[in-house]
Each structure stands twice: as structure tokens, then as C-alpha cells.
Structure 1
Amino acid sequence: MAYWGKADDKYPGNPKWHPLPYHCLDVAAVAAIWMDKSPALQQNFSAAYGESWSQKLRAWILFFVALHDLGKADLRFQLKAIAVAVVAWRDIIKGVDHEISQQEISTFDHGHAGMAWAAREYKAWLATTDADHSVWSHWGSWLAAVTGHHGDFPKPYFEGLADIEADEALIDRDRIARHGLVTALEALFLQPVGLTLQDLPPVCSLPARALLAGFCASCDWLGSNIDEFDYRTPDVALEDYLRERLAQIESRRMLSRYGLLASVHDYAGLMALLANDEAPRGVQTQIDILPSVPGLTLIEAPTGSGKTEAALAYAWRLLAAGVADSIVFALPTQATANAMFDRVEAFAAKLYGQANVVLAHGKRDFNTGFQQLVERGQRRTRQGDIEASVQCAAWLASSRKRVFLGQVGVCTVDQVLLSVLPVRHKFVRGFGLNKSVLIVDEVHAYDAYMYGLLGEVLKNQQACGGSAVLLSATLTTLLRDKLLAAWSSHAVHEADTPYPALWHATGGATVPLTVAYEHRPPRREVDKECLRLAAAYPDEGLQARIVAAAKVGALVAVVVNLVDDAQRLARALRERVRECPEVEVDLFHARYRFTDRQDKEVAALTHYGRQASRTAGRILVATQVVEQSLDLDFDWLITQICPVDLLFQRLGRLHRHQREHRPPGFETPRCTVLTVERDDYGVFELIYGNARVLWRTDELLSGQGSLVFPEAYRDYLEQVYQHDDWPNEPERIACDFTKFSSEQLRREKDALQLTSMTVASFRDEDGRITSLTRDGEMSLAVLLLTADGCLVDGRRINAISEHELAEALNLDTVPAPASWTKLLHHCSMETEGPFAGVRQLVVSETAPGVWQTLDKRFAYSQDFGLEKIQAGKPPPE
């Protein structure tokens, strides 16, 4: 009790320090209430530890959580606040009592030291010889989970651990204190349920260790909040202190106030999520048949058929049944995540009444409790940056991460994949996912590298009793089998499975749940034309047709595969409509500051969405950002060649909604596909990687007839993605596919290898980690700055508060293609701190809303985004 666990010279009351055992119990008390209030957490721990929930399993969890700061009972830690040590015990004088350097004191890591001291002293605690290390094999994993609460699993050794230049009496005092703490916690948590230190804790597998680490870190963050847990004089017996703290957390509804727990309304049926004039359709009619148990659910259904509402309804059922505590909704891009937020927010109001709903990539108001944790975390205690409340504040200050501690989080899939990558606090991400229903939309939209990571996420989710729902309109048999295998399942009767279908996997054989004939999607016929043009780029004739269509009132989308092509085409079309003020040409792609991209999303939904006025024609030139999850409705779609599954996603934006009137000539859906003149797909092959899929898609589209849905989903996808060669397949295409397949296997192995690296490899705030989740085109982060250190919105960087900086950088960073690495080599890029991995591009404003680099090689505008300026051409207006 004479060891301090927290100390703060600026603490508003007295004493200025908090005894170590009291702090340990603060954190354990948070853990106790959280587990007792959450059947989902109990299920997570039961699944992870492979045994039914019991008072004994609960006791082991609380015992080890309380041991998380064992390493603070060390002279080197206590000397971090020498004035406090004087008050807590006595003056410890350098030169008399010790010769420990200030550097050794300041760099002392109490988390790693706690693990190392335990490895050295556990035999004395447990009165065992443990000659075969069988006891440590149980204890080690538990201790690694809790003592590594600042983001890593510490090793059971610590260089210089016992080489303390101090009196033996002081060193011995620390040893006795650690043993005393362990014994006291045994009396508080283990003995009341019939356990002792001589009993072995349950086996702690890797998934269980990660779950416990994330849970312990979250409890430590809350248990370090001085507004909730005031500093106390060490004059209350530990048993009484724990009882008081438990009552306090309960009476103050602490976990609810911080948005970590909320009461779920009774499931009201899928009808509650639909408009008044709507009835369940398609896969929605089967949602109430699915079992309310943890598992992997695959939903295959056409674009616009209500998959999102089906997934949310099922998630509601799982939450109401106590199977999960929260929802994490992951989408392919920031644009799709942003568009989904309002729908999810409305759903959350029905689910919870008042909920903590967090959008990962956008400036949204903090939940009040989150805001308080961030503000309190700005206070620096004697522990400095390793203080749990500071770590918590840093985490919550970045919206990308706080999605995992809300009731409902909406994010890109990248944030989910980071839970299995070697970044700090990956365990908090994993813990947030394990207790949630993870919904991944457009699950077909990733590459082999990302599927390697997603497979690991699903394995962890299954191991910890979590649930996942995966949505796609265009799921191939190969990909479905891979996803099911990650859940230790396999499909049966897949050859004759009708479309649409649902698959609910709990391990072993999985039988599809099909939709009754009367609820299947209506037949939809899409006229297609295939134009072979140089570089598949709209020529003069097609550009004239596009403008003519807009003049008669059509909403036209032109989807191209390259941002450069989109920027060039938008300028060309604007030139053509210069004399037609009634026709607007819009541009939408991924290469914007996120704040500007949000404006572009809103404009796209306003002009082309379900509720658009449609009183005049309009043209949208866009890249792949429109092919997923955006509720847009076009009269005519022109698209460059792309893999058939992505083409079908784009077609989901063509005549998406039933309307009484369409412009003349566009009464029936029509798609124009632009492809190359020969079998050389050039840069498109680089983008999509798989020339065979492009060629096969091209071949099928070039044939006679129209596209008929829903039959085309299964028919075209299985043909394009079948493994066997087509009889007429060019030799080059077949050879390219062999190389592609080898490369896919390599990328998947790279992903798996990365998941096994140590967490110390990357910090969670490191800008470089964004490139770890994708093996694709947009992988560079560019920050636009003026020469005097301002963002382009005028804010001076050094005037932005520390806890707002992460959000500011998030909203002002522009994604750029990896191919620009050499072009941006002159940009400043730091290796440490919040700017790590971000290229700083210096620009100056040349016109309102337009910035250029001094060498005039790059320009940025709110309309066109970031672009290269062609040599010999004037800069953009």
C-alpha cells in the first residue's frame, strides 16, 4: 500500500497519489461490472477459453486483470515520482540508497517488467518447482495478455531486470510487495470461488490472449479516469475498497455513460426497418429463420435488393439475444462508409433509442462520454505518455479507431483488417470486433492479399464466439468456399443453389437457405452494347451522344478506371456543354481531401440519388467509387471494361428504382461497355491484375443478346471465374493467368506472414500502417500544406490541439497512387509522430479553391482533386 500506482502533481485534491493496489482494483472493478452486464462478453470469453461461463472463469479473468500493473512494484518505476515516493513511504536518496540513472528510470517499462518479474518469481508465489514448465505454460499467456496492456505481448525476460544498483533491502522490499499483491488478489478473487494459486488457470490460446489483452486495455483506460476513480489515502481495506468501487460504477452507470453498454430494444421484426409502403422481399424474408447463435452468415442477393436491411435486422436479433454487444459495419471505401452512416444511424435509434454511433472517416460529434475521456487524457501525470488515460485519449481522438468502442461503428474494411496486423493496440480493435456483429459489405471487392487478412479476422471472430455477416451481389463459388473455410465450414449442394441465397455457418457442413420462388427478384433485362475504342476512352462520337442524352433529360454516368481519365473526360465534356447551361457535368473519384470528398458524395446523392429532382439532364464522370453501396440511379450507364463482378455492381446503379417516367430513349435500361481494340488491356490489366477475367468478360459482353438478371449473376460469374481454360482462350491470356495465380498465392502468403509479426513493428498512429491493409492502387498519403505551415483550409498546423491533430490529418490527407512514389520523392516525410508516413506536398493558392506546387507539376482543386499537370500544358483553371 506504500507503492503508488498513479501520481499527478496537478491533481485537484489530496492526496496527489493513488496506491497501486487501489488502482489495480479500479481496473478489476470495471472488468467485473462490464462482464456481469454483458452476456455477449461472457460468451466471448467462454468460446475463447473453451469452457462454459462460470464464476471460476470470471475469477481468473479478474485476478489477472488486477495484476496488469504488477511491474509498478519496482524501485525504478517508483522513482519516476520521487516526491510521491517520499509521501507514500520515505525518501529514497540517490548515492545513499541507489545509483540508478535518470535515463534508466525514465525508460523503465513497467508492463514488460511485470511479465519478466512474474516469470522470475512465480515459483515462489505458487510454491512449485515447475520443473517441466507446465505451470508457466498456463500462467505465461495470461500474464502476457494483461502486462502488455500498452499494445504488445511482452517477453518473459527483461534485459537488466535484476541488475538494479540499489540496496538489497530495497530490492527485497519490491519482491515482497509483488508477492503480497499476488496473495492479496488471490484472497479477493480466487479463494471466494474455491480456487487457490496452486490451481492452474484455463489454457489461454492465442485468440483468448488477444481477447483478454484488448479487454484489459479497455478496462485500464476507464479505470485510470480520475473523474471516476479519485485518488485515495491508503486507509481502506482492499475488500472494502473493491466493494465500494463496484457499487460506484453501478450507481453512476459508468459504462453506459461512456457508450460501452446500452440496453437493446426487443427485436421488432424486419418491417421496422422498412418504409411504410414496403414489405420484406428476397433474402429479407428469410432473416427471421436464421438461428440466433454466433456464426458466419453470407448473404448473396442482387444490388438494391435490401441486403443491408437484412443484415441489420439479423444483427438486431443477435444483440437482442445477448449474442453480441455492438455492431461494426465495414465497407470497401470511405465514400461507401460515409453514405452508409445515415442509414445506420437511423437503425441505431430503433435498436437502442439513444446510441453511440461512430463514423470512422468523418468529423462527427463525440459521444459525450468519449469527449470527457479525451479531455481528461490531456492531463499529463507522472507516468507521461504511458499513462493509460493518455493512451485512451489518443485512441479516441482518432475516429478511425473509436468505432470499435461504440455501439455501432461504420468504417472501411481497412480498420477491421488492422486488428490482425502488427500495430499497437490491435488487441483493442480485436476485442471490439469479437464483441460485435461484424458486417462486411461488398465482400467481393478485395484482392487476394486482403482476403488473406480477412480470413484471419474471421478465424479470430469464430475462435472468440463472435459473429460475422458478409454481403455481396457477386460472390463466386471459389470465394464463397474460401470464406466458409475461414469459419471451419464448407458448402453442400452448391452446384444447384438458386440465386439469391443465404449461408449460415457454425462449423462443418453448411446448407444454403434459399428464397421462395414468389420472393425472388423480378426478371430484369439490360440492353448492352460493346464499343471497341482506343484505350477504351470515349471518342468524339460517344462524347456527343452523352451530351445529347443529357440534353433530353437523362442522368448519365460514365465510369472509368483511372482518375486521370476521369479528370480529362470531365474537362472535355464541360467544354462540349459550355453553350448548354442547363446541363451540368460532375466529377467524382477518390483523389480528394476527405472533407472535399464528403462534399462530392453529398452532391452525387443529391443529383443522382433516390430523391433527386430529375428535372434536367446531368452527367457524372466517376471512377470505381460509385460501384459500391451508393444509392444512385442513372438512366444510361457507360463503363470501361472491368471484371464481370464489378461490372454487375456498376449495373446496380442503372435504373436502380422503379420510376413511372424516364427520358425518351431511356425507358429501358441500357449499358454501354467500352473495351480495347485488341486483347491488350494495358493499364486496366495492371489495375485489376487478372487479364483472363477481363478477356472473358469482354468475350461474353461481345456476344449477342441482352443481360438477364438474376440469372446472369450465377451464369456469368461462374463462367468467367471457372478454373479450366476456355477452348478459344489466347495463349497469352492463359500464360498471364498462370503468373497471376502465382502472384495471388504470394500475396496471400505475404498477408499471413505479416499477421505473425510482432506488434512492436508499427505504432498504431503511424501513417505507414494504412498501406498494410491494401495491395492496391491508392496507397500513398499526401498532405497539402502551404509554405507557412497551414492546411489548405487556412488552419495553422501548430495551432491545432494535440487531441484534434489526428482528426485534422485524417480529413485533410489525399490518397495518391503508388505509381507516384518517384514523382513525390521530394516531399518531406517524417518517420515519427503523427505525420509519419505522410508525404507533405507544399502548395500555394493560385485562385479560390485551387492550389499548385511551386514547380507547377501538381495541382489541387476542390472540384478536380489532386492531379498531375501535363508537361507543356497550361495548369488547370
Structure 2
Amino acid sequence: MTTDRAYWKYWGKARKEGEAGTPYHLLPYHCLDVSAVACAWWDASTAIRRCFTASFSYPGLNQSQLRAWVMFFVALHDLGKFDLRFQLKAPEALAAAWQPLGPEDHGLATRDIIGFDHGWAGLAWANREYRGWLNCRDTDRETWSQWQPWLAAVTGHHGDFFVPEMPGLVPDTDETLAEHDRNARITFVCELARLFLEPAGLSLQQLPPSCSPAAQAWLAGFCSVCDWIGSNEVFDYRCDPQVDLAEYLTERIRKIQDESLLYRFGLLGKSSDYRGLGALLQTGESPRGVQVEVDNLPTTPGLTLIEAPTGSGKTEAALAYAWRLLDQGVADSIVFALPTQATANAMLARAVAFAERIFGTANLVLAHGNREFNETFHRLVESGRNTSAQGKTEAATQCALWLASSRKRVFLGQFGVCTVDQVLLSVLPVRHKFVRGFGLNKSVLIVDEVHAYDAYMHGLLGEALRRQKATGGSAILLSATLPASVRAKLFEAWKCDCTEAAPYPALWHAGEGSPVCLTLPDDQRPPEREVSIEYLKLPGAFPNADLLDRIVAAAKAGARVAVIMNLVDDAQRLARELRRETELEVDIFHARYRFIDRQQKEQIVLERYGRIAVRGKGRILVATQVVEQSLDLDFDWMLTQICPVDLLFQRLGRLHRHQRNDRPAGFELPLCTVISVETEDYGLHKLIYGNTRVLWRTEQLLAGTDRIVFPEAYRDWIKEVYSENVWDDEPDLVYADYLGWKDDQSRREAEAKRLTTMTVSAFRDEDHTVTGLTRDSEMSLTVLPLLSNGRLLDGRPLNTLNEWELAETLNLNAVPVPASWEKQLKECRVEQEGDLAGYLQLEMTNDEQDGWTSIDGKFRYTKDFGLERRCHRRCKNDP
């Protein structure tokens, strides 16, 4: 073998000085390690091939040629390491691979070496030298415009897409050394062309397929993960160029296949053969409602919308359909996104059972600190903690850092559960966003409760759906209460029209054409359900003394009572008043807890008010919107503050949710008491929901009836409340507020779309900043309660945690609060950089009453009531 080519003189991975083992790994070999992972993954996964084929279009291009282009570019991901400045990051490795070079030889400043970004340099060098590679003039830059998206995707594998111009690209060093680098780059590019392109009948003189933004993001995510795996130490270091590149590539591909590395790392997992929806049900149960239509949906990529009542089995229908798609090779994994942390946690137990049934031991199920993943995947995370000479720019280290947060692992396994925020981050300008997008595109994306999102979030979700379609992906959306206008927007994102009316429930599916609607046979339509309505107008929509007495009396009679408030402050106040009124148990549940405490609260609420709760005595739950979605709770009587009709219906889904023969006397039939304000001024309730018109219209319908009949109301009431037509008796103030709200929604949606077009990492991708990016400032501040000595409330010192443990610990101990608290928290310390960046550090002291009080006396925290303001002014947007 000829070893005098310049590219053999470069190291790609190097150990720290004095560390045991082969000191460095040749750069050409490392590049092929990553390509070997890409080759093996391509060959093993029909979903990967499908996504690439859908993403890249080119007349006359066959799949083997597309594979050749992909592998060629993936091998170029570390082109920027063929640069003296990178090589000098490990001078001992450079000396061994080529020759020793001291400052007197290269003349480079230390800052130029330390600050050198080989990812950015790779794209910049390509921009400067590509004409020599391709032997073309390209005066109009048309050729470069075809190559740049591909090169930007693979050289951006460390988290960002770069611009092709890099300040200080040409090093101020001896021209002989610079020429050595140039020679290495061009000979390596030509060698890769011979290795990958020529066997497929291609050459450097031909243009690669067009690469759209969605395709570029897909390729970048694929390359990043391949680099993470290819940088793992299951691939031994080779510092002796005794094996030519073709032979080495074949050897590495064989190793990956023979040792089943992609399966061992949790990136692939064979799902069991589809056995019908009945396989997901309990013994004695059979498919019902929308579930009976699942096998009539096509097994092709597309957007599916399931509209059905709460508790009607939509989740099982979605999982069964996703299983069918996996069985047909349309996808190789599932990502299930829910609106809140509470609903995601509630889903986890069902997810674990499903994953074990479908994937066996190959599954990866993650959500909010709860995790089950195979041991080798765990070792993949652990191995990256041993940093190399590259430090944090080492791919294995970046992999470990990224995966150290359980929220992110959800995208690389067979089945993951997360909040919708994690999905929306895939289209926002955060670091490694394209790894999220890659995980989504190869998966069946299931999004629950799609009615629960505002215009800003729908702007982001629409972009996520557009990219899912562009890469040949599939998505399943679930809702019980979806306005027709929102349904139309979701299908518009899939590039199809959906203005057709349909009976309720319904299943919609759109592939490449217009959506097809499946309706249920008569014997599977949901039975008629009637809910009695009591409508009250009280000051501030807050229960008065008479209503408090009724609540207490109901609990004494054995009823499980839910009182749903729109504001945390109101919920905390009401719970205290009720506890003064009765010795019975009064529980409180909302969103303003440390996450570690909220998890315990969720579990307690499910145990006391869930499907299998032990009954016999009454209880009262005071809660906020956290209980209105996806939680399997069952109440005998429900009271709720006024809210939009679709959210009211969601809340009613927790009233008499299950058939019981032991309801307490007086509560045999479902009754909901709706409490509204005394005037047309909805106050803070308007600030929460924004749209005064839907509040007013919902109230008018409630005032005109003493009952709601389902399932007809799902279509009739929602259609009437959300109609664009002006009601004859609609007050001018309500209409004017609606017009202002509509303009604001358009602005927010436009802002969301603008953010999705930004290509440079502008925001930190950390768990505590997620809602600030995905929810238009709602709950966008994150408070970290700390003792005066800098320890957590449980006494643990932060400085004893390593960076992998710290990320999860901070998330578990942080409290989300609304943006309106910013002024009251202005004295809190906020760091701009480092692990604590963005956290509002609220200094507290133990008050010896099972709680902690802030040093300034403005705030108090208890595990029972969460974070409270000692002043009694209420805040907006605080569920």
C-alpha cells in the first residue's frame, strides 16, 4: 500500500498525554469509522433509506448513487482537521504522525490553536478550494450552490451550520506547512471520490442531488449521530497506515454488523410483527370506537388526525397504527409528545408496557428523569466522559453531554415520551436541533392534545410537520376538541386542504393528496353522555362561602370533588380556605413546584383520584389546568372557573370518566358547576386565555342550558364558539378584544415562523430554557431555590456534582414561574454563562415550618403548596 500520501500524516483522535493505549487514531481512518456507521445504518434500516430517498430528489438518480453521495459527504465531516492549527492541539500526536513542530517552526499564536474550530474551517476550506477538487471555474457559483448545503450539513456536525467564510482562515505560518495541508485535503477528497462515487458511476465533476433545508437538517442529524458512534472506543485506534481505505472501510462495516453495534447502542431495535390492536388491550377487552378503523388506515407515510372523546382509546389507536407503520418499515421508532410534564409522566407507564411488548429489551423509553434503556447505550453515554485531547469538541464527549439529559435521549431510541416542547425545539435555532429533527423524521411522531397549543406553538408545530413530510416521515395527531380552523392549519402544514366537514368521531389521513376521512360504523359511535350544568356568576369567579360549604358537604358524603382554577394563586388560596373549613383531606396540584416535588404530587393525585383509586371516603382536589389533559382521573363532582369551550370539554372528560356503581348519593349523575365573573370584564382570566370572545360565547351557551349532550356537543358547541361569524348580540367590547387578539395571534405565529428560519445557534439548548423558546414567554422564567450557602434545599452542594449529574439535578430542583414575576425576582442572581446560566437563583432559608422563605421575605416554598408569593397579587399566564 502507498503510504506517502499527505493525508496519512494527520491524527483524527488523540489521547491525553500519559494516557494508556494507542496514542492517536489516524484521521483518514476516523473519517471512515463514521462512514462505516453510516453505511451499516443505511443498509440495516428501511426507515433511514426511505427518509433519504424522500429528502433528496434528482432526476435519474438511483438509490445506490444516493447512498454513494451520502457516504462521500459523511466521510468529509472532519475535513477541517486537515489543518495545522487543529493538529497542534495534540503536539505529541502530530510529532508521531508526521514530525515535531514547535512555535519556532509554525509561528502560530496559542490563541489561534486553542480557538480553532475545525467544523467551521472544513466548510470554509471547501469554499476556498472546491474548484481545484472539481477542476472547474464556476464563475457564477452555481456549482458551489449545489455543494454548499451538503458540506454545511456534514461540517456542522458539532451543533451549528456555518457560513462558508471564516475570519483568519488562512494561517499566518510557513507556506510549506500550509501547502502540506492543502495537498492533504485535495488528495483525501479525490481518494474518497474513488472510494464512494466511482463504484456508483459518479464523479466529482457531477453535481450532487439538490439539498433542501429539510434535507440538509436530516443529513446533519444523521452525520452527527454517526460521528458520535464512530468516535466511540469500540473502534480501536490505528496509528499505522497499513490497511488501504477500501479494505479498512469493509473491515469496519463488518465489525458493526457482526457485533450488532447499532442494536447494542440502542439506535436500532427490531419490532415484533403487528398482531392487531387487540394485542395492546387488557384481557377481555376488544377494539372499540376509533380503534376499529386503525387497520383501515394506509401503511404509507402521512399525517393522521384522530378526533375522538376523552377516554375513548385514542392513545391505543395511535400506538397500534404506529406499530403497523414500524412493521411495514415506514419508520423504525416512535416519539410520543404530550402538552405538559404531568401528562408525559402519566403516559410513561403505558409507554413502558407498550415498548416491552413491541420491542422487547431493545427499547429506549425516557421522560423527565425516568428512564429505561439498554446497558450498552448507557455505556455509550459513560464512555464519552473520558475526554480526549480535543476536550469538549470530541464527538464522543458531545454525545455524552447531549444524552446526559434524559429529555434528549428520547430522540435516539425506539420509543420515547416527552413534552411537545422537546419536539418544537427541533425547528428552533438551538445547538444540535437537527439531531432532534433526525430522531423525529425517522420516527412516527405522535402529538397528543393538539388543541392545547396557542398560535405561537402551532407556528412551530406546523414547521415540524412540514419537515416531517419533506423527509417522508409520518405524524399522528390526537384531539378530543379541535376547532375546524385549527384542523385546517395542521393539514395546511402538510401541504393539503382539509375544509371538509365530517361526523364526530373521525380519523383523517393525508399522504400526498387530499385527506381522506374515515368515520365510525353506527355500532361503534360513542354512546350519548349527558352532563348537567350549573352556571354561577361570583365575584372574581371565586367560590363564595355557600359554595365552599357545598364542596365540604359533598366530600363528607363520600364524593371525590375537583375544583379547577385558572390561576395558581387562586388555587393556593382556595386550598387554604377549604382546609380551614374541614378536617377532610384537601389536595392541591398545579405547575409551580420543583419538578422533583411535582413528580410526587402527580403520583399522589393519580393514586387518590385515578382509575384504580381506593374509594370509600371523600376528598377534595384543588388544581389548575394541569389536570385537564391526558391524566386518567375520575371525579364525582367537578367545579371549574370559566374557560374556553374546548378546554371545558377536556375538563369534563375527568368527570364520571369511568363506569362505577358506587357513586355517593346525590352524585350518581355527572354535574359540573361552572363559575364565571359577574361582568363582561374577565380580568386575569382574559390574560390567561387571550380570546375574550371564546370566553363570552362559552358563557352564553352555558347560560342558555342546564345540560351538555355528548358527542354532539364536540362538533356543535366548538363550531359555534369558534365561528368567524359575529353573533347578533355580541358586545362591541368583546368583538374589539377579539380583533386585537387575532392580530396578536398572527404576530406570534409569524414570530415563530421567523425563528425557524434562523440557522445559527442563538439559544441555549437546556431544559430550563425550553418553555421560554417554545411557549412565547408563558412560564418562561426558571427559579432555582437555593440555601444561603449555595446548596439545594435538600442540603446537597452543587459543586460536588459533575456536569452530567448537574444538568438533571438542576432541572429536578427548578421551579417554572410566569414572565410577569420578573420584576419581583429582579434581586435574584442570574449568571450569563456556565451551568447555572439562565436560572434565577432565589436565596432561601429554612423557616422550621416544613418550608423555606426567601431572604427578602417575598416568597415561600413548601412541598405541599409549591412556590408562593407572600404578597397576594395574582399573576397572569400561571396554570
The TM tier, using the shorter chain, reads over 0.9
Which residue, out of 503, 512, 516, partners 2:508?
Answer: 503
1:84 counterpart letter in structure 2:
A
Partners in 2 of 1:232 and 1:88 — Cα distance? 7
Verify the 8 A CA contact 1:4 1:19 in the aligned structure 2.
yes
2:661 aligned with 1:660: yes
1:699 corresponds to: 700
Secondary structure class of the residue paired with 2:586: strand
2:723 corresponds to: 722
**Closer/same/farther in 2, CA of residues 366 and 397 from structure 1, 3 Å limit:** farther
Verify the 8 A CA contact 2:421 2:770 in the aligned structure 1.
no
Partners in 2 of 1:251 and 1:357 — Cα distance? 22
Which residue, out of 87, 91, 98, partners 1:82?
Answer: 91
Q: How does 1:173-184 map to 2 (within 5 A)?
A: 173-184=180-191
1:875 corresponds to: none
Quote how far apart the aligned CAs of 1:242 are.
1.0
2:418 corresponds to: 411
2:257 aligned with 1:250: yes
Which residue, out of 458, 461, 470, partners 1:463?
Answer: 470
Partners in 2 of 1:216 and 1:290 — Cα distance? 33
Moved more, 211-220 or 351-360: 351-360
2:557 corresponds to: 552
2:876 corresponds to: none
2:36 aligned with 1:29: yes
Quote how far apart the aligned CAs of 1:760 are.
2.6
Verify the 8 A CA contact 2:771 2:778 in the aligned structure 1.
no
Quote how far apart the aligned CAs of 1:838 are.
1.0
Partners in 1 of 2:453 and 2:148 — Cα distance? 37
Q: Deviations over 1:334-358 (max 9, x none)?
A: 0000000000110111111123333
Partners in 2 of 1:273 and 1:394 — Cα distance? 35
2:5 corresponds to: none
2:588 corresponds to: 587
2:145 aligned with 1:140: no
Secondary structure class of the residue paired with 1:512: strand
1:305 corresponds to: 312
Verify the 8 A CA contact 2:606 2:633 in the aligned structure 1.
yes
Verify the 8 A CA contact 2:218 2:437 in the aligned structure 1.
yes
Secondary structure class of the residue paired with 2:781: strand
2:115 aligned with 1:107: yes
Verify the 8 A CA contact 1:687 1:777 in the aligned structure 2.
no
**Closer/same/farther in 2, CA of residues 207 and 250 from structure 1, 3 Å limit:** same
2:457 corresponds to: 450
Moved more, 294-303 or 506-515: 506-515
Verify the 8 A CA contact 1:768 1:836 in the aligned structure 2.
no
1:737 corresponds to: 738
TM-score (norm 2): 0.97
Secondary structure class of the residue paired with 1:491: coil
2:201 corresponds to: 194
Q: Which runs of 5+ in 1 are unaligned?
A: 873-877
Which residue, out of 380, 395, 402, partners 1:395?
Answer: 402
Quote how far apart the aligned CAs of 1:833 are.
2.0
Quote how far apart the aligned CAs of 1:318 are.
0.5
Verify the 8 A CA contact 1:493 1:511 in the aligned structure 2.
no
Q: How does 1:228-267 map to 2 (within 5 A)?
A: 228-267=235-274
1:72 corresponds to: 81
1:86 counterpart letter in structure 2:
A
1:207 counterpart letter in structure 2:
A
Verify the 8 A CA contact 2:11 2:25 in the aligned structure 1.
yes
Secondary structure class of the residue paired with 1:544: helix
Partners in 1 of 2:21 and 2:649 — Cα distance? 66
Verify the 8 A CA contact 2:771 2:779 in the aligned structure 1.
no
1:94 counterpart letter in structure 2:
P
Verify the 8 A CA contact 1:492 1:510 in the aligned structure 2.
no
2:858 corresponds to: 857
2:294 corresponds to: 287
1:429 corresponds to: 436
Partners in 2 of 1:618 and 1:360 — Cα distance? 30
Moved more, 419-428 or 223-232: 223-232
Verify the 8 A CA contact 1:69 1:114 in the aligned structure 2.
yes
Quote how far apart the aligned CAs of 1:735 are.
0.4
TM-score (norm 1): 0.97
1:842 counterpart letter in structure 2:
E
Which residue, out of 353, 358, 369, partners 1:346?
Answer: 353
2:530 aligned with 1:529: no
Partners in 1 of 2:186 and 2:277 — Cα distance? 56
Partners in 2 of 1:329 and 1:108 — Cα distance? 39
Quote how far apart the aligned CAs of 1:133 are.
1.7
Verify the 8 A CA contact 1:638 1:671 in the aligned structure 2.
yes
2:158 aligned with 1:157: no
Quote how far apart the aligned CAs of 1:364 are.
3.0
**Closer/same/farther in 2, CA of residues 452 and 469 from structure 1, 3 Å limit:** same
Q: How does 1:583-732 map to 2 (within 5 A)?
A: 583-732=584-733
Moved more, 184-193 or 724-733: 184-193
Secondary structure class of the residue paired with 1:696: helix
Verify the 8 A CA contact 2:348 2:367 in the aligned structure 1.
no
Secondary structure class of the residue paired with 2:112: helix
Secondary structure class of the residue paired with 2:158: coil
**Closer/same/farther in 2, CA of residues 53 and 656 from structure 1, 3 Å limit:** farther
**Percent identity of the aligned residues?**
60
Verify the 8 A CA contact 1:766 1:832 in the aligned structure 2.
no
1:34 counterpart letter in structure 2:
W
1:516 counterpart letter in structure 2:
P
Partners in 2 of 1:402 and 1:309 — Cα distance? 23
Secondary structure class of the residue paired with 1:738: helix
Partners in 1 of 2:789 and 2:366 — Cα distance? 32
Verify the 8 A CA contact 1:374 1:803 in the aligned structure 2.
no
Q: Which runs of 5+ in 2 are unaligned?
A: 1-7, 874-879
Q: Deviations over 1:287-319 (max 9, x none)?
A: 000000100000000000000000000000001
Q: Number of residue pairs matched?
A: 864
Secondary structure class of the residue paired with 1:757: coil
Verify the 8 A CA contact 1:500 1:514 in the aligned structure 2.
yes
1:543 counterpart letter in structure 2:
L
Partners in 2 of 1:671 and 1:320 — Cα distance? 44
1:845 corresponds to: 846
Secondary structure class of the residue paired with 2:825: coil
2:489 aligned with 1:482: yes
Partners in 1 of 2:296 and 2:64 — Cα distance? 34
Secondary structure class of the residue paired with 1:277: coil
Moved more, 233-242 or 36-45: 233-242
1:369 counterpart letter in structure 2:
T
Verify the 8 A CA contact 1:439 1:469 in the aligned structure 2.
yes
Quote how far apart the aligned CAs of 1:754 are.
1.1
Q: Deviations over 1:573-618 (max 9, x none)?
A: 111113xxxx211000000011110111101110100001111111
Q: Deviations over 1:374-414 (max 9, x none)?
A: 22111121111111111101111011111111111111100
1:542 counterpart letter in structure 2:
L
Partners in 1 of 2:792 and 2:374 — Cα distance? 27
Partners in 2 of 1:634 and 1:14 — Cα distance? 64
2:10 counterpart letter in structure 1:
Y
Quote how far apart the aligned CAs of 1:126 are.
1.1
Quote how far apart the aligned CAs of 1:704 are.
2.4
**Closer/same/farther in 2, CA of residues 109 and 124 from structure 1, 3 Å limit:** same
Q: Deviations over 1:255-298 (max 9, x none)?
A: 11111100110001000111112111111110000000100000
Moved more, 317-326 or 231-240: 231-240
2:214 counterpart letter in structure 1:
P
Quote how far apart the aligned CAs of 1:366 are.
5.0
Partners in 2 of 1:560 and 1:765 — Cα distance? 30
Quote how far apart the aligned CAs of 1:732 are.
0.3
Quote how far apart the aligned CAs of 1:796 are.
0.8
Partners in 1 of 2:399 and 2:536 — Cα distance? 55
